[in-house]
Structure 1
């Protein structure tokens, strides 16, 4: 068990963000751990979304009212208890409003940390990917294990025109995004720039509050990525910078449709920084 005394001593004596790692762990080390750690206060996020871990992670039930978890073989259905509660609440909202069944992609690994594939973030138990596919089949029945592995999330963006694909998009998608963004624990939601532009074009009076949380980002054409705020009682959790003022439908959005944004030049290969010392201790618990 993760020692309460050792944890409190580390937390009070050092900066968990600046402390050197006990030993350099790898993504393979983190993916090999299949069970969450214990923690005296329940779920406890450590470090940042892109350089962190989670003690006492909760496991999302593989199905519930209004949602089903996909890609079970990855075993990335762990997260902070607040993230689990958010997904279950959003699923219930989708069911109550007859918006379709939410298909849940990755949360994080049993103790968070870096993954072997797919993500740079999802490390501290506060991120989740939700497919844009609102399946009628999933509404009627429980998907099989094979379907959960083989189904693909279809894009809702016409990538040639770089705009929303009306054949794949519906008002229900807007309602799901609005319901997610209106929840107070949500910090921001990443979507493809074309999705953000479509929401801005259809903006209704009073929508700016939740629309501000919808942020354009590369590759999010087949799913949206929800990121929660650091829980108030998790002092070792490092949040992201505050959102810019406004609803994001200004000139800053136009940049995402330039050639520079569409085809960014590859940057230098960077070495990930060492994980916080508490994460290295957590890995070896």
Structure 2
């Protein structure tokens, strides 16, 4: 699967890799994006339907190629991980929306794949909403952001779940906060099959599986293990 990632060159540009169809079916871009990411991780050829059918039963056949925005690869001046923080998170899709600018939502390919899977699992459990609010991830190429984290493309901030389905922020001490939905979300994050979770920081003492950290009353900080 092809992703919006740096592929070479010195300037930003638009890269069109084609638009694909399978019979009369038009593929959902987010579904195709997730399939192509998983294809890259597993090494399975997305153009070979037999491979998909035999090794990834959940796939829907050969994945089409989509038009993407190509991010040129910067010359590396640091460690290998800087070159790998190159995959843009979508603005919205099944089960999620973004509340930070796009340039602050670039991560490693596996991080993006994991959260697309998490969002889809959440949407399957809650087809009428609410959706997950996705915040900071990293800058393109990684490096310093506010604080000491979000440098490697493996940290993702998300909003706690509300009890009124509004797509807005809340705090675990406010009446609008839903502890039940937030606990369910934490469980889904830990259960994702794409990338192992290292830690989730959040200050609600009644949420199982999280660790307190200063200034984490109004968002959960999910840190995955580096791929």
Aligned ranges 1:130-279 → 2 under 5 Å: 130-134=158-162, 136-138=165-167, 153-157=169-173, 165=174, 167-183=176-192, 185-192=196-203, 195=204, 197-200=205-208, 211=209, 214-231=210-227
Deviation at 1:222, TM superposition (A): 0.8
TM-score, normalization by structure 2: 0.59
Cα deviation, 1:161-210, whole Å, max 9, x if unaligned, reads: xxxx4552331111001111233521111111xx1x2135xxxxxxxxxx
Deviation at 1:100, TM superposition (A): 1.7
Aligned ranges 1:89-168 → 2 under 5 Å: 89-98=117-126, 100-115=130-145, 118-134=146-162, 136-138=165-167, 153-157=169-173, 165=174, 167-168=176-177
Query: CA 1:173/1:125 → structure 2, altered by over 3 Å: closer, same or farther?
Result: same
The equivalent of 2:28 in structure 1 is none
In the aligned structure 1, how far is the partner of 2:182 from the partner of 2:125? 12
Is the helix fraction higher in 1 or 2?
1
The equivalent of 1:15 in structure 2 is none
Indicate the structure whose relative CO is greater, using CA pairs within 8 Å and at least 6 residues apart: 1
In the aligned structure 1, how far is the partner of 2:137 from the partner of 2:111? 9
TM-score, normalization by structure 1: 0.48
The equivalent of 1:37 in structure 2 is 73
Point out the structure with max Rg over C-alpha: 1
Aligned length: 152
Structure 2, gaps ≥5 residues long: 1-7, 10-70
Structure 1, gaps ≥5 residues long: 3-34, 47-52, 139-150, 158-164, 201-210, 232-285
Deviation at 1:45, TM superposition (A): 5.6
RMSD (CA atoms): 2.7
